[in-house]
Structures are given as structure tokens and as C-alpha cells.
Structure 1
Amino acid sequence: MAWGSVQAWARAWLRTLRMPDGCAPVSRIAGSRDWRLLPVAMLMWAVTLAMQTVSMPCVVDRSVIIWAIGLVVLALTVMMVAVISTGRALNACGGGRRHVGGQLVVMLTAVLVVVVNVGVRQLLDQADPVTLLMGSESQRAVPRQVSITLREPAHASTKRGMDCQARAVVDAVQSDGVMQPSHAAVLAMATYPDCSQWYRGATMRMRVTFTQAAYGRESVWVLASPEPSAGVSSASSTASALQGSVHASWWWRGVNRMQRSLLHATRGLPDQGRVLVPGLAMGVLGHDSPVAVEGQEIVDADYAQWLTQRCKAAGIMHIMAVSGTHFVLVRRLSAFICHRLLAPRWMNAGMAFMLSSGLVMLMQPSASVNRAFVMSWFSTVAMLAGRRAQTGHALSCTMIVMLMADPTAASDLAFALSVGAVLGISWLAPVLQHWWRTWLPRMLADMLAVSVAAQLFALPIQTLMQPALPPWSIIANLVANPLLDVATICALGALMTSWLMPQLGHMLAYAASWGTWPIALAAQWCGDEHAQIDWMPGWQGALMLALVFALMLMWVILAARAGHIVTAMMNNGTSPMRRTLSNRITVWREQTWTELDTVQWKERDHARKTRKRCPPIRRH
């Protein structure tokens, strides 16, 4: 009874927000062209990035935190009410004045939410015991006990003297002889004895020292510092910094077993398979895997470094990482199974969500993986509601959710590359596909359009990491992409079966290795270090490249519009229908066979073959 009263009240309140009589929507915006949330997401990104450079006071009162949390709740409430109340202004009649007004209200409310959210997080970070400890140079060099939880599997360390590293969260830190709770994000590093027990989700107590990060996303490094004992120095490679046992949930232990089984299944593969198959399945290359950091050589280090550098120079390094393709394949698998079973829509959405959640647990955590998972979640919600998933709208919502949940993603180049590539695919790829399908086969046109669109939007961000342009990246992507989906499916199958049926897992890994052969071939052909074009470094180079691409796109669009206008003028205001290349080939083949069937062949006179020829006339 109470729930029915709430529903009746909600319907009555929504009726008050409807448009007045005689005022109907001017037009209905197609979901694929609904970009109203994109300016909001971009503004939130810019404000978050700017707020990270603002210093906050170190002394924080508890009342300040309580008031800040209250402001967050108030800002979220204001944003929700503003979005609902301005919904009629965005779609109602009255021209663009109401549309602009409603958009400004939503954007200003989003700025308020971001400022309060980032401000509260900075206040909490400044009051963290690890932050206070890093303020004293003498205190952070003293070995102390900490309790940490790993957020990713261990991989090869980039610091000399350390063998493995992993991002972690400090749960508690020893200060003045007391373990104080903490939530600081750090980069933990250790040596071989401890690396064998490091896996994602593991909680452990260690003896460590703190140091300021020299590079990377995390600002604090936690270095394992084994306690010296009789006959064993603290610098010995056999000393362990762990104190006590390692605790983890049963699902994280299962994930660790599956990942290690896949790495053992790749031992008999060719060199490129041992490097690339783990990258397709888990998002970590073979020479950076947990088994490799334990001293067990998976692949030749020189070949792995050569292949990695070649892939970077060829512009196909993104193939080695987990992307939205994995989640799209999972959704297609779920849809295929549910359609065969005639299952309802809610069961299809539930299976897709469960498979996506399991997949994100098996992957190496990164900003691109989180972006793909959140975006697949919005697509699943659209499926549950019976609506078609819209890439642009889902991408905008994903950016807003990720920036609110983790403001540090605003300064992550991996997140920027992922967003730029998806934005290019959803915005520019359909236009390029429509143009190129007239002259190219459908499959080749689609593949070329997706590669070009993703490269155009991601290349300006890529120049921030490496100020060079890969001119052969389009050709390299066309060579490497045809078997990529098959290789990804086989790699995921090997990951799911290697722990239970090693022989089947090895067979699937071998099949995935054959699918990675075009990637190595593209890297060998198009990844020469002298094939790159040097570009202006820094943000100036990225901005200049973005302007160049924008001018090129404007010129192409204007040229296409001018061609349509000239064609319409020559055909009395109409444009002729153009056949695609595949249609032309099909029509030519059918007409040729029809003509050959209708041709009446003249029968040969076999008597003429036996008739004697006349003797040649001799001239005297």
C-alpha cells in the first residue's frame, strides 16, 4: 500500500513537469546524435584536472569534513532536480533559448559537484597518516609495518634493485608504535621471495620503507625492507619482508590460479605468441607476467623488447591491451546463448552483466578496462530497458561516473586515449563508412573507417607520451586486425580452461598464437624506428596536431558538400543513387552469367575436318 502511494505521488509530481498545453516538441533527437551530456562530461574533466593542482590545508577539522560531505549530498540533489526540471526545456518548443538555459544549469551544477567532490577527497588525503608521514624526510626512511591490499597482479618492476611491483592500498600503517588506519594509494615493490605470493586482492603485512615517487601516477612508493636476521642481511635476495600469512578471498585465489595456468600454457608457443597471447587474454604481456617476475623466463627479453618497440612505432600498441572489444564479444556471446534458449530480456541483461563482471576481475586493472566495463554496464541497462545502446550517450555517462568515483583518472593518459578512440569511432566512423562503402567492399570499408577514426582522435594524446607520428599506422592496423577477434576469443577460452583442462587450454593458446602472427608481421613491416615522423613535444604539439586534423576534416566535409551541391544542380535538384563496388561486381557477375547462358553456340561441322585441303597453287 505504501509503495502504491509513493508511485502515485511520483506520477503526480512528474505530471507537473510536463510541457504546457499547445507546446509540443519541435523534433525528436536520435539517440545516436544525442551529445548533450558530452559538454558536461568534458567540463567536469577540465575542472577535475584543474582542482588537482590546487593545494589544500593539511590541518583538517572533523566538522569541516562533515560539512563537506553534506555539501556533496546537497550538490548531487541539486543536480538531480536540475536535470529533471530542465528536461522539458531541452526538448520543448521555444527555440534554442530554453535549450541553452537548461544546458547551462546542468553544467554549472556539474561544476559545483566536481569542486565539492575533489575538495573533500583532497581534505581526506591530507589528513591520511601516510601523507603526514611523507611530510617528514626522517620518518619515511625508517622501516615500519604496514598492512596493504594489492589492486593488481604483480608484474616486472621498473626500479633497479626491485623485481616486481603492483598498485596497492595501505589499510594501516605503524606510527608511534600504533597501527593507524589509512586509505592511501601507493605503488608497492618487492623482490623474488615475496613476488611469488603477490596477486590481486591479497592482503598482507610487510616491513617497508616509504619514498617519494620519481615518476608514475602514484605519488608514494612502498619498498619492501626485509628485517635482517642471523646470517642473512636485509639486502639478501632470499630475505622476505612479509610478516605473517597472506589473506585473500576465494575468488581472488581462483583468479590467480587461472592466470598462472594460462601463463604456463603459453610456454610451448612461438615467441610472438608467448608475448601477445597473455596480452590479449589478461592485458599484461608475457615478459611482464607474474610468472616472469619470479625468475621463470617465459620469453626472450630482447625479443620482447624489440616487439614492443616495433608495435609502438607502428601504432598498434593498443592491440596488446584489453579494450571494449572484449566486452563486446562477451555481450554477443550472452545474446547468442539467450536467443538460442528463447530467454527473456532480463535474463540476457543479467548474463551479460555477470560475464562482464567476471571478465573485469580476470583482466589487468587499468583506466581503459574500467572505462570499457562501466560503458558495458550502461549498455546492459539499456538492454534491460528495451532500448538500443547509444555509444555517445553511454560514453558521456561513463566519463561522469569515472571522474566522480576516481578523480585521478582525469590525469591518466590511458583513460584519455580510451575516451578519444571511442569518441572517434562513435562520431567519425559512421561518416567514413558511408563514404567508403561506395568504393570499397563493406568489410574493408568498415575496418578502415574504424582504424582511421580511432587514430585521428587518439593520436594528439599519444604525442604527449611519444612526440612522433606513425605514418604507417593505418596499414599496420589493417594487417593486424582481420584475425584479432578470433585470437581474442581463443585467448579468453585458454584463460577459462587452462586451470581445469591444460591440454585444451594449450590448444586454444596455440590457436590464439596463430592469430597474433599478423600483429608481429605488421610490427616487423611498419614498425621501423626510422619510419616515424618527429613532432613537436608537449601540449603545444598535441594542440597543433588536433588543429591540423580539425582543418583536414573541415576541408573534406566542405568538399563533400560542394560535390553534392554540384551534382544536385546538374540533375535538377536531385542526386543520383550510387552503387557500391560490391553491388557493381555482383551485377556484373550476374549479367555475365546471364549473357553466357543465352548465347547460342554454333555447332561445328565435323565433316570439314576430314575433307582434304586443296593443294597450294604453284606459281611458275
Structure 2
Amino acid sequence: MIRQVRVDGRRDLRALPVALAVWTGQLAGNRLVDMLEGSATVTRVTFWCAAAGFIMLFGGIGAAVAYRYRYARRPGPVSNVSRPSYASMVMLLTIAGLLVGVFTVHAHRQSQAHDPAIRYSQSDTATLVSMEASVNTPLTASSVRGYDCQADIIITRFNAGRSHAPARVFAVGQQCASLDHGMHVRFQASLSPARYGSQPVWATDMTALTIISQPNAPRALANRMRHRFAATTARLSDQGRILVPGVTCGMLGQSYAGPADTGEIDTTYANQVEQEFRDAGIMHLMAVSGGHFILIAQLVLWACAACRMPRWAAALAVLIAYHGLAGLVYPSHSVLRALAMGWFSSLAMLAGRRHQAVSALSWSVILILVIDPSKATSYGFALSAAAVLGITLLNEPIERLLARRLPRTLAQAVSITIAAQALTLPIQILMEPSIPLLSTLANLLVAPFVSWSTITGLIALILAPFAPPIAFAAAWLSSCGTAVMAWVAHACGSPAWASLAWPSGIRGSLLALAAAIMMMSIIATACRLRSNGAGTRYRHPAGERITTWLAETRAMLDDSWQSTPRTDTSPPTSQPPA
């Protein structure tokens, strides 16, 4: 008899191996192309990888459809695929994902290698060339000495030829006030390979700047909100000027560059605050992530429920709100990941199905990596995906274990922090070989203030162009929350012993991963030993026990007071004669 498998929709892990395989294939493909660059072997290997990958991919999809069609009319569990067939299809699709990852990386690298702008940047020619480009990000303070601002662009025309090269442009003076997100511009500049960063080309010494077209109406409105918000936060205290834009838009106040008059920010103090946030392990609060999107979705769904809107209208409203938020904040890999997952959650709501976080994350990673293979080597994208995966898979068992000894609210806050850090720590070790020892405590202390500062900051951002006094009041309220975050970062990040030195590189990352796996094994073993197959003993949370004790004590005192005989001490009153 064939054993049947029932797939739990809340724990649908079928796409996770495929996503990991695509990611691994792209990392291996990058390494392979670097080793065999300029060799005909690369082309042959890529061709066979593509052929085998796509054959296995479509073969696996066809087999899944055939199995589903064969058993569609039979009663029984949700999934009518036997365990060997189920495992075989997942393995087939995983291998296909690995090969497709290698192919997409090679195609991406070949496309860049034949782009005229990228080829020119590698020719060591220092002359100015004419080009047209679209500005893809808001301007930020320059990371290169000698320039005032920078922005990421897509070169569309280069020396009268077509191009699609991503680049980073550096500007000075009035050019920073003229450029803005969403513009299409023409200018002359020198091109050179990037010394660091995510863009392969740097455009420097820009001259003859001409604006071909202004941003469209939604983008222009978002730019206006952002500039007015920067002017509003410039009136706050030093920590508010730095942290309120960070917790709201994902860009620290000292990084702003644009037409708004924000004044000078003490660079030494700003660098100190940023380093303390890193050492305390709460720097992720200064990036827009899924938490912002969850807050917006909850507010929109509450409004839709109050207006009694149908499900399809609520799903559409949430999707519009997601895109509006993504347009207001600074573009980043975490925003892209959250927006992609938001699409899947909105489609699930539209179809009347429960949101599946792991499946949505896996498909988001697959689509993003296939469309843009450069994300495979991005630390920001890896940290964002690893944090979501850790929270989804590990939060619930860790919370169950902690809830036996801690109040439920405290157990939830601690479990989320531990679950996220369990999978992000190996990636953080590659960036900085140290472990923040007080990270869990710092995240626990700032947790009550994050949502407050985020919501009030978003209110200030939206109202800044239309109601400046109300926007400033909201920004000030947000700065009250960031003041607590700054104090916690100083308390948990400034001591010399707050960070533990750790081996660097791949060795340190693997050691951290082994520690995380050991921790998960201990948690799983502890849960099994506690249950022992006979269920889990119910234990009232500490808060509920305290509330019950107070209520019973009050009732006991009331009963004691009512049962105590009282002596009438009032003076006697004269009775009238009968």
C-alpha cells in the first residue's frame, strides 16, 4: 500500500530547496565564470547547464501536473502523491534550479560584458563621453571624497548607441539640487570600473547636465514628500535628525542629499551613533523591511473591514499600499524582497487562501534571482531572506520552549530575535567578524518603541508637504521613540566587552552556522523530551497567574471586610414621643 503524504499549507517547504539551489547555482556560476573567463569552456558548460536545467524543470512540472490530474478525482488527503514520487519531483526541480542558476549568471555576465558602456569603462580611457541615463534611486551623500552626492542610474544610451548598464554617478554642487529620482538626463562623464559597491561602473566628473524628462506624477509626489520630510526632521534634536529618517525611510539623516535645507549634522556624533547601533545588534531597525509592510497591511485591512469592502477590493487596496510604501522609502534589497512577498500574500488573499510565508519567500527569491542574478552576491538581500526564513521556521518552537518559563509577551519578543539571528549570524560574520553579546537584550528593550516610531514617522512623511505643523508634531513623537533606541544602543553597544571577536571569513561563518544548528537541535530535543509523546502540560502564563492572584486577594479582603462586625459610634438620636 502506498503511503500518502498530506502537505501542511502553513509549512509548505517544497519550493525552499529549489530557491536554495538557484542561489547556490548562481554563486557557483559566478565563481566558474571568474575562473574560466574568456574560455570557450564557459560557453559549452553554460549551454549544457541550460539544456539540462530546462529539460528537468519542465519535466518536473509536467510530472507534477500528470500526478495531480491522475489523482484529482480520488477522495483522500490534499496531496495524493506518494512519498517516493514527491521526493523525486522535489529533487528533480532542485537540480534543475541549480543548473538554471548557473545559466542565468552566465547570461547576465555575458550581457554586461558586451554592453558598450561597461566595455568602455574597462578600457582605461579617461576622456569624457556623452550618455543618457535614468536615475533609479534618490540622491545620497557621496561615499567618495571630492563629491557631494551620488545616485544609482541605468545608462540607456552611450555614444549614440543603446546600453542598459547599471552605474553609480557622482555629482557636486548645484548638480545635486538638479538631479532627482525618476529623471531621465543627458550628461558627459568619465566611466571607470567601480572600486566597491553593487554597481559595476562609476560615472565621475559629470558635466553638461541636461534634464530630458521630469519624473512622472507619482514619483514627483514621492520626491516632494521625501524632501519636505527631510526639512521637517532637520528641526529635531541631533539623534532625531539621524534616526527618524532611518526608522521611517531606511536612510539615516546624514545620508540625505537634495534641495531641502537640512543644515549640517555632526559627522563624529552620527558615526558614533551608527557604530553603537551596529555593536548593539539593532542596526536592522534603520532599514525598511517586512515590519513596515506588515504595519501598512494591518492599517489598510482595518480600514477595509470598517468600510465592509469585499475581499478582492481589500487585496487590491493592500497591494496598492505596498507599492505606495515602496515608492516612498529608499530602494533596497529588503524592500524588494518584502514587496515581492507582498504580491504573493495579496494573491493568496484574493484567492481566499492562507498566506504561506516560506513558499512566498522561496518563490520571491527564485523570481528576483532569475531576473537580476547580481542579487545572489548581495549581503543585504541574503540578510533579509535569512531573517524571514529564521522567523518563519524557528520562532514558533523557540516561543513554545520559552513560554514555559517566561511571560508569553516576553517569550514572543525574545523568540523572534533569536530566530532571526540564528540564520543571519553566519552572514553577518562574513561582513564583520564579531558577535554582539547584548543583541537579544537590546532588541527586547527597543521592541515596544519600534512600531510607534515607524507609524508616527510615516505620518510625518505623508503629511510633510500638506500640513507641516502636524508633520513636525508626528516627527517629534517619532523622535521620542528613537531617543530610547539611541539610549539602548549606547548602553548595549558602547562597552568594550559588548562584542565578541569571532573568526573571519568562511571558517567563521561555518562555525556560526554550526552553532546555530546545534542550538536548533537542542531546542528540538528539549521539546521532544518535555512532551514525551503524551502532550504538553498546560501552564498558565505569569501575567495571567498574577492577575488571578490579585483578583482572588481582593475578593478575600472584601469578604473579610464584609464579615467583620462594626461598632456604631454615631450619637443617639432622640425619638419623638408616641
Please indicate, yes or no, whether the TM-score normalized by the shorter chain is above 0.5: yes
Are positions 1:122 and 2:109 aligned together? yes
Query: CA deviation digits over 1:237-281, x for unaligned, max 9?
Result: xxxx41455533232222211100000111221111111111122
Which residue in 2 is equivalent to 1:510?
A: 476
Residue in structure 2 matched with residue 33 of structure 1 by the alignment: 11
**Aligned: 1:164 with 2:126:** no
Matched, 1:602 2:568: no
Shift of 1:443: 2.0
Kindly report which structure 2 residues correspond to 1:477-556, keeping only aligned pairs within 5 A, or say none: 477-528=443-494, 530=496, 531-556=498-523
In the TM superposition, what are the counterparts of 1:68-467 in structure 2 within 5 Å? 78=59, 80-85=61-66, 95-137=82-124, 139=125, 141-174=126-159, 179-226=160-207, 241-243=208-210, 247-291=214-258, 296-467=262-433
Q: CA deviation at 1:577?
A: 2.7
Q: Quote the Cα distance in structure 2 between the aligned partners of 1:486 and 1:458.
A: 25
Q: How big is the shift at 1:444?
A: 1.8
Structure 2 vs 1, CA of residues 269 and 314 (structure 1 numbering), >3 Å: closer, same or farther? same
Deviation for aligned residue 1:110: 2.3
Q: Secondary structure at the match of 2:32?
A: coil
Where in structure 1 are there 5+ consecutive unaligned residues? 1-21, 227-240, 608-620
Identical aligned residues as a percent = 32
Per the alignment, do residues 298 and 119 of structure 1 end up closer, same or farther by CA in structure 2, a change over 3 Å counting?
same
* Counterparts of 2:268 and 2:441, CA distance in 1: 26
Contact persistence 1:314–1:523 (CA under 8 A): yes
The CA distance in 1 between the partners of 2:423 and 2:308, in whole Å, is 40
Q: 2:463 is aligned with what amino acid?
A: T
Partners of 1:353 and 1:242 lie apart in 2 by 37
Q: SS at the partner of 2:367?
A: helix
**Aligned residue type for 1:271:** D
CA contact (8 A) 1:313 1:529 kept: no
Mapped partners of 1:491, 1:82: distance in 2: 50
Quote the Cα distance in structure 2 between the aligned partners of 1:574 and 1:511.
47
SS class of match (2:355): coil
Aligned-partner residue type, residue 541 of structure 1:
G
2 CA distance for matches of 1:450 and 1:606? 61
Q: Which residue number in structure 1 is paired with residue 574 of structure 2?
A: none
Partner deviation per Cα, 1:430-453 (whole Å, 9 max, x = no partner): 112222233322222211111111
Cα pair 1:391 1:426 within 8 Å, conserved = yes
SS at match of 1:428: helix
After alignment, is 583-592 or 362-371 more displaced? 583-592
**Could you tell me whether the CA contact under 8 Å between 1:313 and 1:532 is conserved in 2?**
yes
Q: Distance in 1 between matches of 2:166 and 2:451?
A: 35
Which aligned segments of 4 or more residues in structure 1 are displaced greater than 4 angstroms?
56-60, 70-80, 86-95, 604-607
The answer to whether the 8 A contact 1:433-1:449 is kept is yes
SS of alignment partner, residue 186 of structure 2: strand
- Kindly provide the amino acid, as one letter, of the partner of residue 216 in structure 1: G
The superposition leaves residues 391-443 of structure 1 with CA deviations (integer Å, 9 ceiling, x where unpaired) of 11111111111111111111000011111111111111111222223332222
- Kept after mapping to 2: 8 A contact 1:267/1:298: no
Deviations 1:369-395 (A, max 9, x none): 100110111111110011111211111
Unaligned segments of structure 2, at least 5 residues: 72-76, 570-578
Letter in 2 for 1:33: R
User: 1:28, 1:488 → 2: CA distance?
Assistant: 40
Q: What is the letter of the counterpart of residue 305 of structure 1?
A: N
Q: 1:508 to 1:529 in 2, by over 3 A?
A: same
> Is the contact between residue 232 and residue 472 of structure 2 (CA under 8 Å) also seen in structure 1?
yes
Cα distance change on mapping 1:59 and 1:93 into 2, 3 Å? closer
Residues 1:225 and 1:427: Cα distance change in structure 2 (over 3 Å): same
- Whole-angstrom CA distance in 2 between matches of 1:335 and 1:206: 45
**CA-based RMSD:** 2.8
More moved, 95-104 vs 515-524? 95-104
Q: 1:79: how far off?
A: 5.8
TM-score (norm 2): 0.89
Alignment match of 2:546 (pick from 585, 589, 598): 585
TM-score under structure 1 length normalisation: 0.83
Instruction: For residue 312 of structure 1, report the CA deviation from its aligned partner.
Output: 0.6
| Structure 2 residue matching 1:186: 3-state secondary structure | strand
Residue 287 of structure 1 deviates from its aligned partner by 0.4
Question: For residues 21 and 12 of structure 2, what CA distance do their matches in structure 1 show?
Answer: 17
Deviations 1:575-608 (A, max 9, x none): 543222223223322322332333354336689x
| CA distance in 2 between partners of 1:594 and 1:52 (Å) | 71
Alpha-carbon offset, residue 27 of structure 1: 4.4
The offset of 1:74, in angstroms, is 7.5
Q: 468-477 vs 98-107, which deviates more?
A: 98-107
8 Å contact from structure 1 (residues 79, 110) kept in 2: no
Q: After alignment, is 82-91 or 148-157 more displaced?
A: 82-91
Q: Deviation string for 1:174-203 (max 9, x for gaps)?
A: 1xxxx1110011111111221112221111
The structural deviation recorded for 1:150 is 1.3
Q: Which residues in structure 2 correspond to 1:555-574 (within 5 Å)?
A: 555-565=522-532
Closer, same or farther: CA 579–125 of 1 in aligned 2, 3 Å: same
SS of the residue corresponding to residue 54 of structure 1 reads helix
2:404 aligned counterpart, secondary structure: coil
Task: Note if contact 2:139-2:150 (Cα within 8 Å) is conserved in structure 1.
Answer: yes
| Aligned-partner Cα distance in 2 for 1:304–1:79 | 53
CA distance in 1, matches of 2:348, 2:507: 40
AA matched with 1:210: L
Q: Tell me the secondary structure at the aligned position of residue 148 of structure 1.
A: strand
Letter in 1 for 2:511: M
Does the Cα contact within 8 Å between 1:91 and 1:99 map onto a contact in 2? no
**Letter of the structure 2 residue corresponding to residue 163 of structure 1:** D
Aligned to 1:16: none
Structure-2 residue corresponding to 1:17:
none
Of the structure 1 ranges 142-151 and 574-583, higher mean CA displacement relative to structure 2 is found in 574-583
Higher relative contact order (CA 8 A, sep 6+): 2
- Larger-Rg structure: 1
Aligned 8 A contact 1:378 1:394 in 2: yes
| Aligned partner letter, 1:376 | G
SS at match of 1:307: helix
Q: Tell me the number of residue pairs that the alignment of Structure 1 and Structure 2 aligns.
A: 554
Single out whichever of 549-558 and 406-415 deviates more from structure 2. 549-558
- TM-fit CA distance, 1:541: 0.5
Corresponding position of 2:436: 470
- The worse-fitting range, judged by mean Cα deviation, of 544-553 and 74-83 is 74-83
CA contact (8 A) 2:427 2:509 kept: yes
Change beyond 3 A, Cα 1:576–1:50: closer
Instruction: Give the Å deviation of 1:491.
Output: 0.8
Q: Tell me which amino acid in the other structure corresponds to 1:44.
A: V
Kindly tell me: are residues 529 and 595 of structure 1, through their superposed partners in 2, closer, same or farther at Cα, counting changes over 3 Å?
A: closer
